[in-house]
Structure formats: structure tokens, C-alpha cells
Structure 1
Amino acid sequence: MTTDSFASSRLIRQRSFVLFWLSRVASTVGYQMLTLLIGWQLYELTNSAFDLGLVGLIQFVPAVVLTLLIGHAADRYDRRLIIRGAQCLYAVTAVVIAIALLTHTLSRDLLFVAVLLMGCGRAFELPTAHATVPALVPTPLLARAVASWTSANQVATICGPALGGLIYAISPLAVGCVCFVFFAGAIVCVTLVRLERPPAPREPPTFASVFAGFSYIRERSRLLGVITLDVAVVLLGGATALLPIFARDILAVGPEGLGLLRSAPAVGALVTTIVLSNHPIERRVGKCMFAVVAIFGLATVVFALSTSFLLSLAALVVLGASDAVSVVIRFTLVQLETPDEKRGRVSAINSLFVSSSNTLGEFESGVVAAWLGTVPSVLIGGIGSLLAAALWMLLFPDLRRIDRYPSADEKKSA
């Protein structure tokens, strides 16, 4: 490759990564705002912790049902097309809710349908986007790119709920309209992304090709441990679904406070990912991952017991910071230990575990809160996260002993 062509290729990659980053920000801002709108409207209509938990279960269903289809599609078709389709589904959902608010026909069932549509879109968008990131950066820079990519999510998670809460205080209808604008911007950005490598030839799915991701993960204990760790921790420690209850009934801060509570974890995560994008973790990777998982559990316990709005915000900031370190380490390990031709399928399975642990964890939190109360539900989850981290250290000792990220040579030898 000549110097000019190399420089041109590098410029295309940089421009495409920036556009992809912006698309991620816009899509996640809209998604977070729409989630806040749905959560607050649902609790206003039903006053039910169980219904808030049911939102997580509804989102969990498409992630499970569609996982194999998503992974195969991401490895056989243009990943940008799949991402655009998912973002179009978000935009349609925002329009439906806005019309329902305008015509005063919003109902519990309609909100659940909206959640299902969003769950389908997210099930396709996340694993496909994750599998696309390594194609936009050189392998030695992947850890930094992952941190930068994660920061996009955190920027959006900060701005989305906070902006959504402020706009909601003025007009719930305006929230739906602004969400549509963000989704439209995300679609434009991802359309302009250029990939140097064309998608693999389209072939009909076979039993072996569809299940290749599961086989690949099962044969590698470190990969299996990394992917399942998130399920164990977040399934027990997730308290996001109960934030409307904390905001209204425990901390008495209203929808504006709910927006800040939903943004707080992202504040900690954003600061952390900015640091990691410039100073990535290079030694004791495995031990660092388990350490931050333990911090995540402790922060959850503090949040559960807090009756102070400021202390609750601080606990959520620490929770988000620790989770961000864990996410960057896990995402980098998964991508580096998976060849590109299997990244779509492996990313789909990884996304299934990540998404299902979050959504199913929200359902679990809602059910336990309905049985035992809101505070005991979150407290049990935090303690369970600590126990899960300790158990995984025993079950996957190779994961604990990882010192550095695997190099390209190690990947080939594997």
C-alpha cells in the first residue's frame, strides 16, 4: 500500500469512526429519553412496581428469541443496514407514543407494545454495532476505541435522561418529538459510515453456521467466563427499573430528579471511559475486572440504604464508574478473542447476556420489590452481586489470572 493510499484509508477510518460515534450518541440519547417517558407514564398510570419490572421482561423476550437470527445476519449482511433498520424502529415507536399523547389514548397496553418494539430494535442494534467497531480501528488501538465507544454511550446516558426529565416537566409530548429527531440524526450518521471490508457473501443459514457462536464460546473458558459474569452480577444488582419509585416515594424529587438519577451512573462512567481512552488498563486485567465488580455491588448496597438524594447520586456515580471499567475490559476481551467472521454471532450472544441481564434484572427487581419492598430488593441485589463476583473468581481462575489483553499473534495461535 502506498503512502497516499494508506493515509486515505486512515482518514476514512477516522471519519467513519466519528460518524459511528455520533450515531451511537444520538440513538442512545433518544432511547434513554423514550425509556424515561415510558417509565414515568407507566408508573403514573398503574402505580405498580410489578409493571415497571414487567418492562424489563418484555424487552428480554426479543433478545432471546432473535439472538441466533441477529448473529447470523450481522455476519452475512451489511451491518450498517441492520443498524439503520433498528433505529427506524425506534423512530416509529417515538411517533406512536407522541400520537397517543396528543390524542389522549395512551394506555398501559400501548406502552408495553412500545417497549416490545424498542426491545426488538435494541436486540438488532447493539450486537451489530459492537461487531462493527473493530472494522473501524486498527487492532492495537481497539482498547482505546472501546473506551471511546463506551464514552459515547455514557454521554448519551447522561444527556438523555436529564434532557428528557427537563422536557417532560414542560410537555411529555415534546419528549416524543425530540426523540424522533435524535433517531433521525442517528440514521443519517450511520448511513455516511464507510466500511473498507465488504460484508461476507450472503448464504442461507445452516444449523452449524447459526450455532457457531455458541460453539466458539463454549470451547473457550475465558470467553465464557467474561460473558456470563455480566449476567450473574447485573441480574442481581440491577435497580434501574425501580428508579421512578426512589424518585417519587423515597427521595421525593419528581421527574426532574428521576432524570438526574438515571444520568448519575453515566456521569461516573463517562469520566472513567475518558480516562481509559487515554490511559487504558494494560496490566492485571483480570484482577481489575473482579475488583470493579465488587465495587459495583458495594455501591448498589449504599444506594439501597440511602435516603439522601445527594448520597444516592454519589452511589450511582460510583456504580457507573465501576461498571464502565468492567464493560471496557469485557468488551475488549470478547472482540480480541473472536475472529471477524464470527464477531456477529459471538456479539449477538454476548449482547443477549448483557441485555437479558439488564432487562431480566429489572423484572427480578420489580418482582422482589412487589413482594418484599423496594429497598430490600435493591439491597439483596447488591449483596448478591458481591457473592457472584467471588464465585466467578473460583469458577474461572484463568480469567482472574489474565495480565494483558491478547495480542494479534496470540489470537492466531489460539
Structure 2
Amino acid sequence: MLTLKRAFDSLSVRNFRLFFLGQLLSVTCTWMMVIAQDWLVLELSGDSGTALGVVTALQFTPVLLLTLYGGRLADRHSKRRILVLANLTSGTLALALGLWVVWGDVRLWHIWLFALLLGTVNSVEAPTRIAFVGEMVGNELLPNASALSGAYFNAARVAGPAAAGLLIARLGVGPVILLNACSYLAAVAGLVLMRPAELHGPPAPTSSPRITDGLRYVSRRPDLVLPLALTGVLGLAGFNFQLTLPLLAKTEFRTGSAAFGLLSSSLAAGSLLAAFATTARRTRPTEAVVTGSALAFGAAEALTGLAPTLPTACLLLSLTGFAMMYFAQAANHRIQLGSDPAYRGRVIALFTLIFMGTTPLGALLTGWLSDHWGPRWSLSAGGLISLAATALTLALTPAPEQDIPSLDKSRI
């Protein structure tokens, strides 16, 4: 009972509780829109994996170009105000796309434009949101709050796709996108109702934060470089489910939008369990936890590509989702809890850049593989590459890495 209570410690903080509830509703509807958007792309393109890959690439390309600048903004300005503006902008974009679809005049290039603009907003919003978690709860509760953030994200990934599959079949794509546009108001309300005096912000910078200073800081920290490198490889090769799952549902199992939602929900269900499993963490995870979870992810994804039936695929996707989230949380916690708060926005921006910025390249490669070899091969190849990269990392590491002795533990 005590362990269960500790799993929700961060929700005792009013500011984080408001953030959690607003994000839970908003992200659930966002996942509904993701399913609707992908399904619409397949309908407009004749089930083209390349067209779906282009949408994914356009949505994440701005991350490659702008996320480091977004981290600089997060270290320089109020993170709460940045998040309010970002959510209002994303809601406006979703409203425009939804109306386009409802009016029946949507074209493929409209979706591409929306993906590019939304990706531009996300390049600032994502690193700011991740770094803001520590300001809401303080460093002691940061691992718990980060894990609960993963929990709401994956609870949304369970509920959102499942609901989207049913709503698309009943109402169509347009109303689902419009519902997402309205949901951003919940996230904005949670941010506006916070008490700024209760935030744990870093000291005001004595000079304007520079991107190069953040990069130089990370380059001197091998304990940060390793999880960042693994995140890059797994993000590039393995984290392309937004592309492979709709193709798997429609071209391999010959099912409709409801089954697509079931596959996505299975992946999210495993991720949700992993998020809850890490809520008890109070200290910085070791390098072995990061590499071990990466190995488990690679093996599970490779097996998923071999699944002969839809139920088997759902089961293996649950295991894959668990390993994926456990790795992502371990890498995130190792990076955040090892970073000086004065640099945290820029370090998290680099993490976000690597985690999300590899998606455009991975999406194009996965789309090409899916068109020529099928989505099964894309899944298995991603898992095998992840396995090989992690095994190479272990082989090149002569001894268990020690935390930097000079790190000021009172600041993390």
C-alpha cells in the first residue's frame, strides 16, 4: 500500500497535478488525431508507405533544425509561458486541418503542410515540457514525476487510438481532428492555473544562454554521451511504429481502423506498465539499466515482425512497448539527474533532438523498406539494428562507467 502511495507522490504537488490532468486529456485527443491523420494519408495515397513516411518526416524535420534553439529559449524564458503559447498554436493548427477535412476539400499536401507546421511548434514545446517537469516538483521527485508523465502519455496512447478507431468508423476523420483542437484548451488551463511562486526554477542566468555552451558541457560528460548515442540509434531504427503499425494492420492483416487502433493500444499498454514500473525510482539509473533495456527492446521488436496473427502481434507489441518505455525513461532519468539545472533545458533539447530528430530519416527508410519488403521486414530490421548497436556499445565499454566524481550531488 505504501509502495502504491509512493508511486503517485508527485501528484501531491498542486502545480504538477494541474499539468498532469491537462496533459492527459490533451494527449489522449492528440493520439486520436494521429490515428485519424495516418488513416487519411493511406486513403488519399492508395496505401503508400512512402507517403506516410513523408508525413512523418515533415513532422519531425523541424526538430532537427530548431530543437536546440528551443532548449535555449527554455533556459532563458519562462517555460510555463512558452508552453501556453505552444499549446494555443497547436490547437489553432488542428482546428484549421479539421475544418479542411470536414469541408471535403483536403489534399495530401494540406496534411504535409500541417505536419511541418506542427513539427515546428513541437521543436520548442517538447524540450520545454520535459525540462519543466523538474521545475514543478523539484529534483527529489523528478524521477517519479517523469515516470508519471510517461504514464499519462502512454495511458493516452492506449485510450486515444482505441477511441479513434471507433470514432473514425462512426463519425469520420474530420470530427476526430476537431475534437483534438478543442482538447488543447485543457492543457492551457492547467498551465494558467498554476502558482508561479511554487515553481523550482533555476537561478536567473547571468548571461544569455548559448547553444554551444550546452554542447560543450555534454561533450565533457561521457556518462551523458552514451545514453544519448543509444537513443539516437534506437530512435532512427526502432521507434517508427507510427509508420509500421498502420501498414501492418492494413496490408498484412487486412483489417480496418479499429484493428489499427488495437495494435497501437497494445504498444501503448506495455509502455504504460513500464512507466508505472519506474515511478518508484528515486536515484539516477545505472548504465547497465540503460543498455539492458535497449537489448530487450531490440529483441522484442525483431520478434514482433515475425508475428503470424493479429493477437500474437498485439502480445509482442505489448512487450516491445514495455521495453521501449523502460529504456526511454532510464535514458531520460540518467541524463536529467546527471545534468546541472542551469544547462538542463539545452541538454534536454539535445536529448529531444536525438530522440525525435532521427525520426525523419528513419521514417523515410522505413517507408521505403515497407514498400519494397513489407512492414514485417521493417519491424524486424529495426529490432536487429537496435540489438547490434547496443551489443557494440557493450563491447566497446571496457568497464562499468562511474558517475563523474566532481558532479555536485546537491544540485541533482
TM-score, normalising length: structure 1: 0.89
Distance 2:10 2:381 in 1: 50
Distance 2:384 2:316 in 1: 15
SS of equivalent residue, structure 1 residue 305: coil
Q: 2:273 aligns with which of 268, 271, 274?
A: 271
- 1:413 Cα deviation after fit: 9.6
Aligned to 1:56: 56
Distance 1:11 1:194, change over 3 A: farther
- 1:197 Cα deviation after fit: 4.4
Distance 1:211 1:142, change over 3 A: same
Aligned to 1:139: 139
Letter of the 1:315 counterpart: L
- 1:355 Cα deviation after fit: 0.8
Aligned to 2:73: 73
Distance 2:330 2:189 in 1: 30
- Preserved CA contact (<8 Å) 2:23 2:187: yes
- Preserved CA contact (<8 Å) 1:75 1:200: no
- 1:229 Cα deviation after fit: 0.7
Aligned to 2:355: 354
SS of equivalent residue, structure 2 residue 141: helix
Aligned to 2:3: none
**Residues 289-323 of structure 1, C-alpha deviation per residue, up to 9 Å, x if partnerless?**
22221111111112111131111111111111111
**Residues 3-47 of structure 1, C-alpha deviation per residue, up to 9 Å, x if partnerless?**
xxxxxxx99970001111123323322321221111110011102
Distance 1:407 1:150 in 2: 30
SS of equivalent residue, structure 1 residue 17: helix
Bigger mean CA offset, 160-169 vs 345-354:
160-169
Distance 2:31 2:10 in 1: 31
Distance 1:203 1:286, change over 3 A: closer
Distance 1:156 1:199 in 2: 30
- 1:407 Cα deviation after fit: 10
Letter of the 2:244 counterpart: L
Distance 1:185 1:191 in 2: 10
Distance 1:313 1:11 in 2: 31
Aligned to 1:242: 244
Aligned to 1:411: 409
- 1:257 Cα deviation after fit: 0.9
Distance 1:360 1:203, change over 3 A: farther
Letter of the 1:29 counterpart: T
- Preserved CA contact (<8 Å) 1:60 1:360: no
Distance 1:91 1:250, change over 3 A: same
Q: 2:257 aligns with which of 255, 258, 272?
A: 255
Bigger mean CA offset, 341-350 vs 53-62:
53-62
- Preserved CA contact (<8 Å) 2:141 2:282: no
Q: Percent identity?
A: 25
Distance 2:51 2:228 in 1: 28
Distance 1:247 1:82 in 2: 38
1:218-367 matches, cutoff 5 A: 218-240=219-241, 241-277=243-279, 279-280=280-281, 285-367=286-368
1:379-390 matches, cutoff 5 A: 379-390=380-391
Distance 1:94 1:360 in 2: 25
Distance 1:382 1:312 in 2: 14
- Preserved CA contact (<8 Å) 1:234 1:385: no
**Residues 346-399 of structure 1, C-alpha deviation per residue, up to 9 Å, x if partnerless?**
11111111112344322221122223332222221111110011112234556x
- Preserved CA contact (<8 Å) 1:270 1:321: yes
SS of equivalent residue, structure 2 residue 358: helix
Aligned to 1:33: 32
Distance 1:260 1:38 in 2: 16
- Preserved CA contact (<8 Å) 1:77 1:202: no
- 1:67 Cα deviation after fit: 2.1
- Preserved CA contact (<8 Å) 2:240 2:359: no
Give every structure 1 segment of 4 or more consecutive aligned residues whose post-TM-superposition deviation is greater than 4 Å. Answer: 10-13, 197-206, 281-284, 405-410
- 1:116 Cα deviation after fit: 0.9
**Residues 45-73 of structure 1, C-alpha deviation per residue, up to 9 Å, x if partnerless?**
10211111112221232111112321111
- 1:199 Cα deviation after fit: 7.1
Distance 1:359 1:158 in 2: 24
Aligned to 1:166: 166
Distance 1:197 1:273, change over 3 A: closer
**Residues 119-173 of structure 1, C-alpha deviation per residue, up to 9 Å, x if partnerless?**
1122111110111111222323322222112111111111121122211111222
Unpaired segments ≥5 residues, structure 1: 1-9
Distance 2:350 2:291 in 1: 21
Aligned to 1:16: 15
SS of equivalent residue, structure 1 residue 99: helix
- Preserved CA contact (<8 Å) 1:336 1:406: no
Distance 2:260 2:74 in 1: 35
TM-score, normalising length: structure 2: 0.89
Letter of the 1:83 counterpart: L
Distance 1:125 1:359 in 2: 18
Letter of the 2:120 counterpart: C
- 1:190 Cα deviation after fit: 1.7
Distance 1:283 1:58, change over 3 A: closer
